């Protein structure tokens, strides 16, 4: 079993949580937020992680190597609200060892 | 008044399969759904995506799953109230419930099964100041009757299929059609994108990208919208502004029915029959919660099956019944159809 990494998630109330994230379970950032119940169920990951809603939008606050945005993610973000330069869909960011120390903030519910 | 045995709120996979399990117990069902077609999320959000964890289907497209379910329940002749949202519920003296939709359609049943998934799909409203003030005064989130826009100047915003399709459709009706999207790329079906390009070249649709409507102008009705493009802001005169930014599920009025809610879901008794805190009202599928809950279609099917047995006992408290295998009992439809396993042929050896 691979070691867990640390990821900091700032929830929608502005509270910061440093959590252990497994790198061997094919998890993404949206699922990590749900696993630690850092956003109410039904307000995040509504489409299940298919980049077909923007409920898992987050702002990436650290310099980590992230995967390129797919066309689906670009298109979905183009219709998201509260968009910023560093907006990403949490479901499209897979957790892997290089993301140790990542800091993200959840976008407001919309 | 529509009368039935089990009134199902939500026509997604769980709601549809309930019709089958109820039908085996000779109970009739009627379904209400806010969307205009059955299938829930499977049909609305991801019909072309594969699902890999439906037992005995190594892979099935969500849209095909819905089609198969519709075929499976056909013998049980379910009724549908589609495109209407279940709004209120009232308990009657005889213990039955009357559920009324936002359009006033009334339904009466002794059993209500809420299979509402994440809720009813409502249009996503853009974050434009004062937009609420113009709702029904020139701002519409859903196009109900295209004729309403005859000879009007229309601005549509959005980059998906509904924005593209309505822009195309309204060119023959409206006086002018303007399509605004934040990006140059559209995520709709390729032939729709090409059709809009063609209409743009013919001067029939004004496409403004990458741009965004940031304000609405008008005394009491919409008179113009402010558009921001590449840092510049300009106004565009129009009679209607139609933002089509897709749909998002909201638990909606069900949250006010006196049901115990936890984590945006309805608490049920999972040790028995998925009944809520109100006897006679059940919650099954993604809409419910209990310790260990998983929001999976296959779990919804299981919950629907147990729920129907309990509903039968509630309706007929004095009848004894044991579950029968379909291979043994066959499937007798309300339409007179009958499916059954062929009988074994007995032949002696001389």
pLDDT of A53? 86
For residue A10, list its beta bridge partners. A16, A105
pLDDT of B302? 98
Tokens at A85, concatenated? 């330069």
Query: What does each of the 350 residues of chain B score in pLDDT, given as a tens digit?
Result: 999 999 999 999 999 999 999 999 999 999 999 999 999 999 988 898 999 999 999 999 999 999 999 999 999 999 999 999 999 999 999 999 999 999 999 999 999 999 999 888 888 899 898 899 999 999 999 888 899 999 999 999 999 888 999 999 999 999 999 999 999 998 888 999 999 999 999 999 999 999 999 999 999 999 999 999 999 999 999 999 999 988 888 888 999 999 999 988 999 998 899 999 999 999 999 999 999 999 999 999 999 999 999 999 999 999 988 888 999 889 999 999 999 988 888 888 88
CATH for B125-245? 3.50.50.60
Q: Which of residues 25-44 of A touch B (CB under 8 A)?
A: 40-43
Query: In whole angstroms, what is the distance from residue B334 CA to residue B24 CA?
Result: 10
Residues, chain A:
110
Query: In whole angstroms, what is the distance from residue B23 CA to residue B34 CA?
Result: 23
- Note whether A71 contacts B185, CB cutoff 8 Å: yes
In chain B, the residue whose alpha carbon lies closest to the alpha carbon of A70 is: B187
- The size of the A-B interface in CB pairs under 8 A is 60
At A42, is the pLDDT very low, low, confident or very high (cuts 50, 70, 90)? confident
- Write the residue in A46, A50, A76 that is nearest to B49 by C-beta: A50
pLDDT of A83? 92
Measured distance between the N- and C-terminal CA atoms of chain A, rounded to whole angstroms = 37
**DSSP H or E stretch at residue B91:** strand B86-91
Residue A2 in this model has a pLDDT that exceeds 80: no
Q: CATH topology of B2-121+248-339 equal to that of B125-245?
A: yes
Q: Which of residues 58-97 of B touch A (CB under 8 A)?
A: none
Does any CB of chain B come closer than 8 Å to the CB of residue A85? no
- Which residues of chain A have a CB within 8 Å of the CB of B246? 53, 79
Residue B46 · residue A50 · CB < 8 Å:
yes
Q: Which domain holds residue A26?
A: 5-106
**Per-residue pLDDT tens digits for A16-37:** 999 999 998 889 999 999 999 9
User: B177: closest CA among B210, B152, B214?
Assistant: B152
| Residue ranges of domains in chain B | 2-121+248-339, 125-245
Residue B13 · residue B19 · CB < 8 Å:
no
Question: Residue A42 maps to which CATH number?
Answer: 3.10.20.30
- Note whether A78 contacts B265, CB cutoff 8 Å: no
Mutate to test the interface with A, among B119, B122, B161, B183 (most CBs of A within 10 A): B183
Does any CB of chain B come closer than 8 Å to the CB of residue A46? yes
In chain A, the residue whose alpha carbon lies closest to the alpha carbon of B188 is: A75
Q: Which of residues 235-274 of B touch A (CB under 8 A)?
A: 245-246, 248-249, 251, 263-265
Tell me how many domains chain A contains.
1
CA angle B47, B49, B52 (to 5 degrees): 120
Residue B209 · residue B180 · CB < 8 Å:
yes
Residue A1 in this model has a pLDDT that exceeds 60: no
Query: In whole angstroms, what is the distance from residue B143 CA to residue B244 CA?
Result: 9
Superfamily of domain B2-121+248-339: FAD/NAD(P)-binding domain (3.50.50.60)
Full-model pTM: 0.83
pLDDT of B317? 93
Query: In whole angstroms, what is the distance from residue B278 CA to residue B289 CA?
Result: 15
Query: In whole angstroms, what is the distance from residue B8 CA to residue B3 CA?
Result: 12
Mutate to test the interface with B, among A34, A50, A75, A78 (most CBs of B within 10 A): A78
Q: Which of residues 53-82 of A touch B (CB under 8 A)?
A: 53, 55, 71-72, 74-76, 78-79, 81-82
Residue B186 phi/psi, 5° resolution?
A: -110, 145
- Write the residue in A43, A75, A79 that is nearest to B264 by C-beta: A43
Q: Dihedral through CA B305, CA B49, CA B247, CA B215, nearest 10?
A: 170
Q: How far is CA B234 from CA B128, B152, B203, B216, B313, in A?
A: 16, 20, 20, 12, 66
- Which residues of chain A have a CB within 8 Å of the CB of B245? 79
pLDDT of B350? 85
What Rg value do the Cα atoms of chain A yield, rounded? 13
- Note whether A53 contacts B263, CB cutoff 8 Å: no
> Which ipTM value was assigned to this complex?
0.79
Q: Kindly give, in sequence order, each residue whose CB lies less than 8 Å from that of residue B216, ignoring residues fewer than 6 positions away.
A: B128, B130, B131, B134, B138, B139, B222, B224, B225, B226, B241
């Amino acid at each position: 079993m691979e070691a867990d990494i640390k990821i900091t998630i700032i929830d929608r109330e502005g509270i910061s949580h440093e959590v252990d994230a497994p790198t061997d379970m094919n998890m993404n950032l949206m699922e990590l937020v749900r696993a630690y119940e850092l956003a109410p169920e039904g307000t995040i990951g509504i489409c299940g992680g298919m980049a077909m809603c923007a409920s898992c939008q987050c702002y990436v606050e650290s310099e980590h190597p992230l995967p390129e945005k797919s066309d689906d993610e670009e298109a979905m973000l183009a219709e998201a609200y509260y968009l910023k330069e560093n907006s990403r869909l949490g479901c499209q960011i897979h957790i892997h060892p290089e993301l140790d120390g990542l800091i993200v903030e959840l976008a407001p519910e919309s | 008044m529509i009368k039935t045995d089990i009134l199902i709120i939500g026509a997604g996979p769980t709601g549809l399969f309930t019709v089958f399990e109820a039908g085996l117990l000779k109970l009739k069902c009627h379904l209400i759904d806010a969307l205009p077609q059955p299938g829930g999320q499977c049909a609305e959000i991801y019909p072309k995506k594969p699902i890999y964890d439906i037992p005995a289907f190594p892979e099935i497209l969500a849209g095909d799953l819905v089609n198969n379910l519709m075929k499976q329940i056909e013998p049980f002749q379910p009724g549908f109230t589609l495109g209407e949202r279940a709004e209120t519920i009232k308990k009657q003296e005889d213990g039955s419930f009357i559920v009324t939709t936002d359009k006033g359609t009334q339904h009466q049943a002794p059993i209500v099964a809420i299979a509402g998934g994440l809720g009813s799909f409502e249009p996503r409203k853009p974050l434009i100041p004062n937009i609420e003030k113009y709702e029904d005064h020139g701002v519409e989130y859903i196009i109900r009757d295209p004729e309403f826009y005859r000879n009007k100047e229309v601005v549509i915003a959005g980059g998906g299929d509904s924005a593209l399709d309505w822009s195309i459709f309204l060119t023959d009706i409206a006086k002018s059609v303007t399509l605004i999207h934040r990006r140059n790329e559209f995520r709709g079906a390729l032939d729709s994108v090409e059709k809009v390009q063609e209409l743009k070249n013919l001067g029939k649709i004004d496409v403004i990208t990458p741009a965004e409507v940031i304000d609405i102008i008008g005394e009491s009705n919409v008179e113009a919208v402010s558009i921001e493009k590449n840092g510049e802001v300009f106004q565009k005169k129009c009679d209607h502004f139609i933002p089509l930014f897709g749909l998002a599920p909201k638990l909606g009025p069900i949250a006010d029915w006196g049901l115990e809610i936890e984590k945006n879901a309805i608490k049920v008794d999972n040790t028995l029959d998925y009944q809520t805190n109100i006897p006679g009202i059940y919650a099954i599928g993604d809409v419910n919660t209990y310790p260990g809950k998983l929001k999976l279609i296959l779990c919804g099917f299981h919950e629907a099956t147990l729920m129907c047995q309990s509903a039968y006992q509630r309706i007929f408290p004095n009848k004894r019944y044991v579950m029968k295998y379909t291979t043994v009992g066959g499937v007798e439809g309300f339409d007179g159809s009958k499916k059954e396993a062929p009988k074994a042929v007995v032949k002696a050896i001389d």
